[in-house]
Amino acid sequence: MTTIKDIAKLSGYSIGTVSRVINNHPDVSEEARRRVEEVIREQNFQPNSNAKQLKQQSNSAITIIVKGNENMFFEGILERVQAQLKESGEDVAVTFLDEYSNEVQAAIQLCALRKPKGFIFLGGNLEFFRMDFDKIDVPCVLLTNTAADLGFSNLSSFTTNDMDAGYAVIDYLIKKGHTKIGIIGGSASKIGSQIGFRRIEGCRRAFEDHGITFDESMQFEPSRFSMSGGYESAQRILKKNPEITALFAIGDTIAIGAMRAIKDMGLSVPEDVSVIGYDGIESARFSIPRLSTIHQDTDALARKGVEDLLLRINYRHPLAHEDVPFSLMEGESVKTIETKKKRSTK
């Protein structure tokens, strides 16, 4: 193992100077810097990160906490975040959590264990943040939910505007002639913190604006963010409410399960039941039928999240809470219904 000591000896400078070169301290002569860097290159020297971190009292790799094992959407975004971070030379640790577990507690534990430089949360329940996030003091970013109202000084957030997007979905379906619309996914809890809540809240407003009543007990069914969750919830809601002509699954993973369930009930998409998803994952572009969905800009989410975190880890940099734009991608899974009302008004 080459150490900083060897570099010192070889370059003719002290280990203090070598360390300063490595860490880009300003007060090193050009000559010393050049010489030391040369030796470092020759020896292919890599500083020992354990020693460095021991000394600096900080910290291990940036940690990504993925909340929702089975949610395919997170897989895509995880990859992007990981790629971004690696480009910046940052090491990355990943922890997968069940969709219902407490991500903030998990982060607190990790802090005790290895003091990560920072966290990126992929998905998060605001309720857990409210309860315990004050115990975390490293810079964090929450992706796909907004932390704007929480007021923590070390938590940025980037998300699709779920309220607007939920609104857009229902508005779209209604304009396509649907009025008997079912929603599946997320939990029915009114806490206002679960990932799906804002989406559903947007739906509510759209229904209202169109003068259509939304009966939660008949038109909503909770579901895990998984294909099997979507499969089961679609079956349940369609059985309890056979009038439904369109289903909004608040995640593509759920939607794909739902389409399979509809098929297994002897019905077809979109002829008997239209389905629209949320996320815009790759599988949605290859499913049969192709899934209509809200496309979240994973690239922007990942890029902004990583940039923000890095800036705040390395410099004094202000927090940010931003929405990234979304778009409704039309596939083949929603059909137009000519309603009587429509016809008469035309």
Q: Which does 94 bind (CB under 5 to 8 A by kind): a copy of itself, DNA, none?
A: a copy of itself
| Binding of a copy of itself by 267 (CB under 8 A) | no
Q: Which of 16, 115, 112 is nearest to 57 (CA)?
A: 115
Q: Which is nearer to a copy of itself, 56 or 344 (CB)?
A: 56
| Binding of DNA by 13 (CB under 7 A) | yes
| Binding of a copy of itself by 83 (CB under 8 A) | yes
Q: Which is nearer to a copy of itself, 29 or 48 (CB)?
A: 48
Q: Which of 16, 22, 23, 18 is nearest to 7 (CA)?
A: 18
| Largest pairwise CA distance in the chain | 91
| Binding of a copy of itself by 61 (CB under 8 A) | yes
Q: Which is nearer to a copy of itself, 59 or 241 (CB)?
A: 59
95-to-46, 111, 194, 222 alpha-carbon distances in Å: 27, 13, 20, 25
Q: Count other Cβ atoms within 10 Å, centred on residue 25.
A: 12
Q: Which does 15 bind (CB under 5 to 8 A by kind): DNA, a copy of itself, none?
A: DNA
Instruction: Give me the DSSP letters along 216-229.
Output: HHHHEE-B-SSHHH
Q: Which is nearer to DNA, 36 or 174 (CB)?
A: 36
> What is the total count of residues that contact a copy of itself (CB under 8 A)?
43
Could you say which of 24, 41, 42, 56 contacts DNA (CB under 7 A)? 56
Min separation Cβ 267 and a copy of itself, Å: 12
| Binding of a copy of itself by 135 (CB under 8 A) | no
| Binding of DNA by 39 (CB under 7 A) | no
What's the one-letter identity of residue 215? Answer: D
Distance between CA atoms of 91 and 33, rounded to whole angstroms?
26
Could you say which of 24, 41, 55, 211 contacts DNA (CB under 7 A)? 55
Q: Which residues contact 122 (CB under 8 A, 6 or more apart)?
A: 64, 65, 66, 67, 68, 74, 77, 78, 81, 143, 144
Q: Which is nearer to a copy of itself, 82 or 219 (CB)?
A: 82
| Binding of DNA by 111 (CB under 7 A) | no
Q: What tokens were used for 176? A: 């396509």
Q: Which is nearer to a copy of itself, 257 or 305 (CB)?
A: 257
Burial label for 1, CB within 10 Å (0-12, 13-18, 19+), is exposed
Q: Which does 20 bind (CB under 5 to 8 A by kind): DNA, a copy of itself, none?
A: DNA
60-to-25, 63, 90, 118 alpha-carbon distances in Å: 22, 8, 10, 9
Pairing of strands 326-329, 292-296: antiparallel
Q: Which does 96 bind (CB under 5 to 8 A by kind): DNA, a copy of itself, none?
A: a copy of itself
Min separation Cβ 55 and DNA, Å: 4
Given a contact cutoff of 8 angstroms between Cβ atoms, the answer to whether 179 and 168 are in contact is no
DSSP 8-state code for residue 67: E
| Binding of a copy of itself by 46 (CB under 8 A) | yes
Footprint of a copy of itself (CB under 8 A): 1, 44, 46, 48-51, 53-54, 57, 60-61, 69-70, 75, 79, 82-83, 86, 91-96, 112-114, 227-228, 231, 256-257, 259-260, 263, 282-283, 285-288, 290
